[in-house]
């Protein structure tokens, strides 16, 4: 994660330490980042509530919605990531 965001202006290490201090994530000694499944679910629900139109959400994760957005070219500048 730190390598992926190295060119951004985000202080990744400090951000991860803050999240870990608040028990929102766990960073293992080998560098794995994990999050409780309930927090993951909450985050997905928040993203899903952004819009009824999947192409206007920041993240896509449901296979059918990903297919529709890509096949119909309905994604907007809002889409930041796809996770399947």
Instruction: Please give the pLDDT value at position 81.
Output: 87
For range 64-74, the mean pLDDT: 91
* 1 and 31 together in one domain: yes
Angstrom distance (rounded) from CA 60 to CA 70: 11
Mark whether 2 and 29 lie in a shared domain: yes
Cβ contacts of 33 within 8 Å, gap of 6 or more: 1, 16, 25, 26, 27
84 and 53 fall within a common domain: yes
Each residue's pLDDT tens digit, 3-55:
666 666 677 788 888 999 999 999 899 988 999 999 999 988 999 999 999 99
H or E element: which one contains 27? strand 26-27
Whole-number Å distance between alpha carbons of 61 and 12: 24
The number of folded domains in the chain is 2
Q: Is residue 40 part of a domain?
A: no
Instruction: Indicate whether 3 and 29 sit together in one domain.
Output: yes
| Full domain range(s) for residue 7 | 1-35
Residue 42 maps to a domain: no
Per-residue model confidence as pLDDT tens digits over 34-46: 999 999 999 889 9
């Amino acid at each position: 994660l730190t390598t992926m965001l190295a060119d951004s202006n985000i202080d990744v290490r400090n951000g991860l330490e803050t999240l870990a201090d608040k028990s929102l994530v766990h960073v293992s000694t080998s560098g794995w980042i994990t999050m409780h499944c309930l927090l993951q679910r909450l985050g997905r629900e928040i993203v899903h509530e952004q819009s009824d139109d999947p192409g206007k959400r920041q993240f896509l994760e449901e296979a059918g919605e990903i297919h529709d957005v890509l096949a119909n070219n309905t994604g907007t500048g809002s889409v930041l990531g796809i996770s399947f």
